Amino acid sequence: MDQAVPGWPRLCAKARASVRFLQARVKTLENKVLVTGGAGFIGSHLVEELVRRGRTVRILDNFSTGSRDNLSAVADSSAVDIRVGDAADPEAVRSALAGCDTIFHLAASVGVGTVTDDPLGSLENNIDSVRTLFGLLRSGSPVSRVVYFSSSEVYGKSSTERLEETSPFIIGPADAPRWSYAAAKITGEYLALGSSRQHGVPTTVVRCFNTAGPRQVDTYGMVIPRFFRQALAGEPLTVYGDGSQTRCFSFVGDVVASVLDLAQHPGAVGEVFNVGSDEAVSVLELAHQIRSMTGSRSEISFVPFETAYGPGFEESPHRRPSLSKLRSFTNRNDQTPLEEILSSIHGWLTQRADAGGDATADVAAEAGGTADSACADDSARTADSASTADSDLTDSRTGAPVERAARLGLRTSAGSSPAV
């Protein structure tokens, strides 16, 4: 009789997940939060905000792409436990999970350059880490929430004007390495959602759209830091194709705030959310904005995709999310304008230069090989840092004045619960 009710198995799974959520929630404040890939760009900002909210955070990172510099502000903090280990290693993950009730899984191989250079290794790493985590969670102690960071790359070549969470995945053939990252993230979503529905592991999937902000480097295909590096060094700004492709860049502080809201929402269990901005800009216009902001006289150089990535490389011309579902769950309708995102990055670079470093060298330090595509999505970077104290005049995460940093979303809204 139960099977005659449409959707009954899924309703039962959600009910079981809700019970486990409430059971684990009782111990939320006394247990740790695990952030895999906690030494990367998004992860470091996430760790910072968690620490600011009074949580104890454990970071699992193998530092293959993460940076210890991102963790310098919290390396000695009693609120942060840094574990060096691989997210695909069952023993490392098992140990890291002990005492943790909330897990944010960001660890992954990312960037078009990384994927095209080692498609098989990237594919295996991105799938194995998800299988390892959820395999352990299915047989372990209850947790209150797992947030799996997927990517807008899963939508592939879709020409839909606004991508909804139910939009189809349209990726290229298996002999095009560029699509292996999307394939791995899609597989990760099936593993995460299957564990939620069939085994009661309370999971939320987030698909990030081109997150940007301070501490991002251009090593793995992130176009904004690449343009800043080139503009500040007086080098030509390399635009792939004709620059007409558009993307929506979201501020990392906004992304973190939205993800933490979803992690606290019981109704978000078993659901998928687009997370980002819906303000679209062409890559060519982005280059002009950064050149103007820095006062650079750099030329703009147009480079064919085939020259950068080889024959047969495919690029999605447009990728813009529908944020209706996210906004209905989080009540966040504002987003940081692109100009303010760029200003925060420029301020961070300026602060680093004023502190005695070479801003262009800092951004380029990890940028081996050729520059990467603007289509690269950095939702799963593996390095992160946390800081609990602002200076008297500037915010340690952006280099911007404190009052401006707050306005850019680095502080949660007054209505946000600090429990996560």
Distances in whole angstroms, Cα of residue 197 to Cα of each of 12, 15, 149, 193, 371: 8, 10, 18, 6, 40
- pLDDT, average across residues 61-83: 88
- The pLDDT value recorded for residue 49 is 93
- Give just the sign of the alpha carbon dihedral 49, 54, 57, 63: positive
- pLDDT, average across residues 129-152: 95
Q: Is the pLDDT of residue 210 over 70?
A: yes
Instruction: Report which of residues 373 and 46 the model is more confident about.
Output: 46
Q: Is the pLDDT of residue 176 over 50?
A: yes
- pLDDT, average across residues 177-189: 93
* Least confident window among 211-215, 244-248, 394-398: 394-398
> By C-alpha distance, which of 87, 205, 82 is closest to 151?
205
Single-letter residue type at 72: S
- Which residue(s) pair with 212 in the sheet? 251
- The pLDDT value recorded for residue 62 is 93
Measure the CA–CA gap between 220 and 373, rounded to whole angstroms.
Answer: 9
Q: Is the pLDDT of residue 377 over 50?
A: no
> By C-alpha distance, which of 171, 178, 67 is closest to 117?
178
- The pLDDT value recorded for residue 315 is 77
Q: Is the pLDDT of residue 55 over 50?
A: yes
- Give just the sign of the alpha carbon dihedral 264, 208, 204, 37: negative
Query: Model confidence at 372, in pLDDT bands (50, 70, 90)?
Result: very low
Q: What is the CA radius of gyration of the chain?
A: 20
Instruction: Report which of residues 83 and 413 the model is more confident about.
Output: 83
Instruction: Give residue-wise pLDDT tens across range 8-40.
Output: 777 777 777 666 655 555 555 457 999 999 999
- The pLDDT value recorded for residue 420 is 63
Q: Is the pLDDT of residue 240 over 90?
A: yes
- The pLDDT value recorded for residue 159 is 82
Selecting among 148, 181, 240, 309, the annotated active-site residue is 181
- pLDDT, average across residues 259-271: 97
Active site residue 181: yes
- pLDDT, average across residues 274-294: 97
- The pLDDT value recorded for residue 370 is 26
- The pLDDT value recorded for residue 21 is 58
Instruction: Give residue-wise pLDDT tens across range 386-402.
Output: 222 222 223 333 334 33
Distances in whole angstroms, Cα of residue 161 to Cα of each of 155, 226, 242: 12, 27, 20
* Least confident window among 83-92, 140-149, 170-179: 170-179
- The pLDDT value recorded for residue 18 is 66
Domains (ranges, CATH) in the chain?
Answer: 9-410 (3.40.50.720)
Query: Model confidence at 406, in pLDDT bands (50, 70, 90)?
Result: very low
- pLDDT, average across residues 237-261: 96
